[in-house]
Structure 1
Amino acid sequence: MTAFFTKSSNAALPITIKCAEENLNVSHKNANVVHSLGSVINMNACAGFILITVLFVAKSMGATFSIFQMIMWIFLATLAAIGNAGVPMGCYFLTSAFLTSMNVPLYIMGLILPIYTILDMLESSLNVWSNSCVCVVIDKEIKEEILPEFE
Structure 2
Amino acid sequence: MSKRRTWVCLFVSVYTILISLSWNLLKSVLSWYQFQSSSSSAWPALYASVLLGLSFGLLSMAAALALAVPATLVTWITVLVLLAFCGKPRHTLVVEGKKLTAEITGLVAKVLIKEGNVVAAICAVVAYFALVRSKHNNEGGGYQGSTIIH
TM range (shorter): 0.3 to 0.5
Q: Which has the higher helix share?
A: 2
* Structure label with greater radius of gyration: 2
TM-score by length of 1: 0.37
- Of the two structures, which has the highest relative contact order with CA contacts closer than 8 Å and spacing of 6 or more? 1
| TM-score when normalising by structure 2 | 0.37
